[in-house]
Amino acid sequence: MFVVFLTLSTPFRGLAQGGELLIQQYNRGPQLDRNYSKWSFKIGPQLSRLNTDLGTSSPTITLGGLFEIEYRLSKTVGLKTGAHYVPVSYTYAVNDSTGQDFLKYVSFPIILKLQPTNKMSFGLGVLYHYFLKGEKRVSKEEVEIKTAYPEGVFENSFGGIAQINYFLHPRISVFGNFRWVKKINLPTNPKTNTTSGFQLGMSYLFLKSRERP
């Protein structure tokens, strides 16, 4: 009788053990058992297409770059900061000619990053938009006249950023941003410090701390 009982109970014991293992895996999550680094450093290029809120300008695509520092609070949550070089350019009509503003900024973001899988991450944060310099370009026929903007026309501003990342490789990712900055201008200033638009880019992880479980 004892032998028969052991024979009949073996499949049930295996089923119970399999169920317990499945529950453990579910509680742990499909991606949460990977190792991660507390600190990581990234660089890369990014394209920007940002426009003003004036309604009379058309954005042009510019090439910038980024340097990012990320600190992981956990395996799926982190904070990102760094410096983004962001040229902003747009065209508008000037009498019978075409005018273009070409402005240079450095943005300093603070982004809360959520990474539920190895392939995707999402971010939302704030940024400080620091104005470096700018110039006005007026083209008529085959002649282009460049004039530097004096101090006070364009200023620093604050804004926000929403981001989605897709990882092609543990060290390489592509991303898309929607970003906006706003600052109230003086009524006497015909220019604006308010811009918004999209960015596309790629980042390369060139340095990271030792991985931990």
**How do residues 92-127 score in pLDDT, each as one tens digit?**
998 888 999 999 999 999 999 999 999 999 999 999
CB 84 within 8 A of CB 64: yes
CB 118 within 8 A of CB 165: no
Burial class (CB in 10 A: 0-12, 13-18, 19+), 168: exposed
Alpha helices in the chain (DSSP H): 2-28
Residue in 182, 178, 147 with CA at minimum distance from that of residue 163: 178
6 has a pLDDT exceeding 60: no
CB 44 within 8 A of CB 204: yes
Burial class (CB in 10 A: 0-12, 13-18, 19+), 115: buried
* Cβ within 8 Å of residue 54, ≥6 positions away: 92, 192
CA distances from 167 to 60, 106, 153 (A): 27, 25, 40
CB 41 within 8 A of CB 71: no
What does the pLDDT read at residue 116?
95
The percent of residues in the chain predicted with pLDDT above 90, rounded, is: 71
pLDDT, mean over the chain: 87
54 has a pLDDT exceeding 70: yes
- Quick one: CA dihedral 167, 168, 173, 174, positive or negative? negative
| 75-84 tens-digit pLDDT | 999 999 999 9
What does the pLDDT read at residue 33?
53
Both tokens of 153, joined, read 């026309």
Under DSSP, the state recorded for 76 is S
Most confident of 17-21, 61-65, 136-140, 191-195: 61-65
Which pTM was predicted?
0.81
Q: What's CA 135's distance to the chain center, in Å?
A: 27
| Backbone torsions φ then ψ of 9, nearest 5 degrees | -85, -15
What does the pLDDT read at residue 132?
97
What does the pLDDT read at residue 20?
54
- Residue that wins the pLDDT comparison between 14 and 82: 82
198 has a pLDDT exceeding 50: yes
pLDDT band at 139 (very low <50, low <70, confident <90, very high): confident
- What average pLDDT score do residues 1-19 get? 46
What letter represents residue 109's amino acid?
Answer: P
What does the pLDDT read at residue 123?
98
